[in-house]
Chain A
């Protein structure tokens, strides 16, 4: 790095200048600065070694892998159900999307068709997860630019979303509501009531949050033109999700490859134009409104019927049935012990995760575990463009760029 200057060389240089009648100039001294690995503003454990000229960032060397937990390797030893907890811990801000994306991949492999009601419940849960993901990302962006109030204000709403999760499955952060073939249980009257309440209360909160930032002079000055990326570069880097849409490309997996009945709902894809931090903020803001619209439609038109597919070999029966029916007990046992083999095959399935296309590439050799499971993690792709995005900017801008990219360390390192 540039800081390793040698005093001897410098004095030689000084001597040379004196001898040749050159004025002593103030050479810009480059500073090496460690941004991270553990710093409140990095939102996770990843390091950036910055090379700075004063406040200006000349170059950056990102280092990741601090919490690499070898999920892909672990997955090769685990029966299909036991991989669900691994996916929870990738993007923990929106774990239902991760879970259900994985379950849908396995369903594709097994050829299970999920009934409409289960699909709609999944849509509701996934969109709630997307709201909570965007909510954290945008409010933390506010914190990083110096506005703490908005964060505290909307955190309450995340609590309400977690209350809904809790009512649906019992867990709050690392959810386990999904099953291969549907949901663990049907939505209870209380869960429906909570969703209804959320739909009534949340728009007001979000409108206020939006008002707090979108026309705030300081916020606009701090985010406009910060960490920009063009549509062409973003595509070359493999960007997806809100970060790509902020650059002006309307690619959304929900629209292009609809899964889980997304084709039934009407919603728009918000698109930005500059690909800077402010645009990413606006796109996420607008996406929350669209998610609300989807939840409302799914909630109103929730079809009657079963909440899981009729696939006893793969669908883990609910505990109530396990205690009362012999078949359920047998299948429960067989599934939990991982005694049921999957067919030979190779599938790729992707869902629109909280921050982009979350893909699962699964190869099965006919055994009880995947032969190979590869996660296409959007964060992994965003963070490699980070260097390019912050070069030439200031340190304070680098912080805002990082939080607007929504890089989650759990997903980055998997």
Chain B
């Protein structure tokens, strides 16, 4: 079977059902689908173990914050790659900021270990089952997750850095 976006999507939907896979689009040629927390690990495992698909390389993973989306403020994006077919796929899972919990992928991919720690560090997503979910790039004492949009880059309380002084 040739791996095209339609074929792969059809295969995934026939396996997981339309209630679990939605919002499929390909903004840059890479198919992007959205799924839910319950199916994500099973889906990635299926992509890896299915003989026809053989999508077994975790390229990257990151978090995204959309403060304006009601009840799906946080997003975790996985990007996988089939080295045999040279086919890439992107999977997103949205969740409310109040309930930022995800199952861990470390049992399937060792690469997910630090990627999940990074996502936790930056966005505060808790990965249940992760062997060592601690901060990775920031200091342990930090009390917030710095990539969230509510923390602007510059310290807004500082008075020696008023924007008007810099022509902004």
- The 8 A CB mask of B55-74 against A (1 = contact, 0 = none) is 01111101011000000000
B98 at the interface (CB under 8 A from A): no
For chain A, which range describes its interface: under 10, 10 to 19, 20 to 34, or 35 or more residues? Answer: 35 or more
Stretch at the interface among B4-12, B39-47, B83-91, B157-165: B83-91
Asked whether, in the complex, the Cβ of B137 is within 8 Å of the Cβ of A235, the reply is no
**For residue A380, which residues in chain B have a CB less than 8 angstroms away from its CB?**
114, 118
Q: Please, what's the 1-or-0 string for B80-118, where 1 marks a CB less than 8 Å from any CB in chain A?
A: 000100101010000000000000000001110110001
Contact B30 A68 (CB under 8 A): no
Closest B residue, CB atoms, query A251: B83
Contact B153 A238 (CB under 8 A): no
Assess the B27–A346 pair: CB atoms within 8 A: yes
CB-contact partner of A235 in B57, B135, B136, under 8 A? B57
CB contact between A359 and one of B59, B86, B114, B139 (< 8 Å): that residue:
B59
- Cross-chain pair count, CB within 8 angstroms: 82
A109 to B28: give the CA distance in the assembly, Å: 8
A72: Cβ under 8 A from any B Cβ:
yes
Q: Is the CB of B27 within 8 A of A74?
A: no
* Selected contact of B136 from candidates A64, A238, A251, A372, CB within 8 Å: A64
Please report the C-alpha to C-alpha distance between residue A57 and residue B55 in the assembled complex, in whole angstroms.
Answer: 35
Give the docked Cα–Cα distance between A64 and B27 (Å). Answer: 34
Contact of B110 among A109, A237, A256 (CB under 8 A): A237
Contact A68 B138 (CB under 8 A): yes
Chain A nearest Cβ from B149, distance in angstroms? 8
Residues of chain B contacted by A73 (CB below 8 angstroms): 146-147, 153
Q: What CA separation (Å) do A372 and B146 show in the bound complex?
A: 13
Q: How far is the CA of A77 from the CA of B166 in the complex (A)?
A: 15
Cα of A233 to Cα of B62 in the assembled complex, Å = 22
B120-138 residues at the A interface, CB under 8 angstroms = 122, 135-138
- Specify which chain B residues have a CB less than 8 angstroms from the CB of A33 in the assembled complex: none
Whether A357 contacts B59 by the Cβ 8 Å rule is yes
Which residues does chain A contribute within 8 Å of B32, judged by CB atoms? 346
Query: How would residues 92 to 113 of chain A score, 1 for a CB under 8 Å from any chain B CB and 0 otherwise?
Result: 0000000000000000110000
Q: Who on chain B is nearest to A376 by CB?
A: B60
Chain A residues with CB under 8 Å of B27's CB are 345-347
Rounded to whole angstroms, the CA-CA distance of A348 and B26 in the bound complex is 11
Chain B min CB distance to A226 (Å): 21
* Residue of B56, B83, B88 with highest tally of chain A CB at under 10 A: B83
**Which of chain B's residues have a CB closer than 8 A to the CB of A357?**
59
Given A235-B56, A256-B86, A257-B86: A346 and B28 interface contact (C-beta under 8 Å): yes
Given the complex of chains A and B, what is the CA–CA distance between A238 and B79 in angstroms?
12
- A64 and B28 within 8 A (CB): no
Q: Mark contacts of A351-394 with chain B using CB atoms, 8 A cut-off: 1 yes-contact digit, 0 otherwise.
A: 00000010101010000000110101000110011001000000
Residues 52-96 of A contacting B (Cβ, < 8 Å): 64-65, 68, 70, 72-74, 76-77
Q: Is A236 an interface residue (CB 8 A)?
A: yes
Size of B's binding interface in residues, CB under 8 A = 33
B137 contacts A348, C-beta separation under 8 Å: no
Q: Which residues of B contact A237 (CB under 8 A)?
A: 110-111
Q: CA A257 – CA B110 in complex, angstroms?
A: 25
Any chain B CB within 8 A of the CB of A283? no
Q: Is the CB of A381 within 8 A of B111?
A: yes
* Shortest distance between the CB of A313 and any CB in chain B (Å): 20
With CB as the reference atom, state the residue of chain A lying closest to B152. A77
Residue of A nearest to B57 (CB): A235
**Alpha-carbon distance between A108 and B58 when the two chains are bound, in angstroms:** 22
Asked whether any CB of chain A lies closer than 8 Å to the CB of B53, the reply is: no
B21 part of interface (Cβ distance < 8 Å): no
Contacts A235-B56, A347-B27 aside, 8 further interface pairs with beta carbons under 8 A come to A235-B57, A238-B57, A238-B58, A249-B83, A256-B86, A349-B28, A361-B79, A374-B60
- B residues with CB within 8 A of A: 27-28, 30, 32, 56-60, 62, 64-65, 77, 79, 83, 86, 88, 90, 109-111, 113-114, 118, 122, 135-139, 146-147, 153
Give residues in A with beta carbon < 8 Å to B: 64-65, 68, 70, 72-74, 76-77, 108-109, 233, 235-238, 249, 251, 256-257, 345-350, 357, 359, 361, 363, 371-372, 374, 376, 380-381, 384-385, 388, 413-414
In the A-B complex, the 10 residue pairs with the smallest Cβ-Cβ separation, listed nearest first, are A238-B111, A376-B60, A65-B137, A346-B27, A374-B62, A68-B137, A347-B28, A384-B114, A77-B153, A237-B110
